[in-house]
Chain A
Amino acid sequence: GENVEQHPSTLSVQEGDSAVIKCTYSDSASNYFPWYKQELGKGPQLIIDIRSNVGEKKDQRIAVTLNKTAKHFSLHITETQPEDSAVYFCALGDSGYALNFGKGTSLLVTP
């Protein structure tokens, strides 16, 4: 499947700071870019997604940006809180049903 590189693999920030996670890809046919949050012992939860006709999407403290020319997209979390601590996965796909997932970023927000 499509190779998705996700960085960093771990990220530690202080409460109130911002966190940014980036994913890069190579298949220009990809047009759907979701982000998932997975808390310990639970299934992933879709938190935000973006399609290729949009450059940025925001939902409260979470935003996703997409640069199709450079083939990368990023998750931005502002004013981080301890409950934001989790593993975050990017994913991408074309108009079909199969998504390819990144390997995940473990985010730790320290009080």
Chain B
Amino acid sequence: NAGVTQTPKFQVLKTGQSMTLQCAQDMNHNSMYWYRQDPGMGLRLIYYSASEGTTDKGEVPNGYNVSRLNKREFSLRLESAAPSQTSVYFCASSGGSGPGFFGPGTRLTVL
């Protein structure tokens, strides 16, 4: 099993550009999550999906959209990137409440 995979690993954007971060899990988990991690800030929840077909806002959803494409895949979209969105983004999944397995992360820089 690959666990949770994320693409890309690194990305540099200019202000105003858009991009989609991809995430997939092969553990048949119902729940999937997107977190961002900033230095000294811990992890903050952007969006989560408790099950296929549902999504909910987390603590910091502004500037982001998500799509739960199917049970395996959960994507995060930045429509118009801003420097404040420079961060490391982690996708996670679990069979119940709370993230159990994290992906390796996407390091995003917005210039």
Produce 1/0 per residue, B10-29, CB < 8 A to A: 00000000000000000000
- B residues within 8 A CB of A43? 4, 90, 92, 102-105
Q: In the complex, what distance in Å separates the CA atom of A91 from the CA atom of B42?
A: 10
Specify which of A1, A42, A89, A91 is in contact with B98 (CB 8 Å cutoff): A91
Looking at B43-51, B68-76, B77-85, the stretch in contact with chain A turns out to be B43-51
Specify which of A34, A96, A97, A102 is in contact with B42 (CB 8 Å cutoff): A102
* Chain B interfacial residues counted at CB < 8 A: 25
A residues with a Cβ closer than 8 A to B are: 1, 32, 34, 36, 42-46, 49, 89, 91, 93, 95-104
B residues with a Cβ closer than 8 A to A are: 4, 31, 33, 40-45, 48, 50, 56, 58-59, 90, 92, 97-105
23 contacts between A and B (CB under 8 A): A32-B97, A32-B98, A34-B98, A36-B102, A42-B104, A43-B92, A43-B104, A44-B90, A44-B102, A45-B102, A46-B100, A91-B43, A93-B98, A97-B33, A97-B50, A98-B58, A98-B59, A99-B45, A99-B99, A100-B59, A101-B43, A104-B40, A104-B42
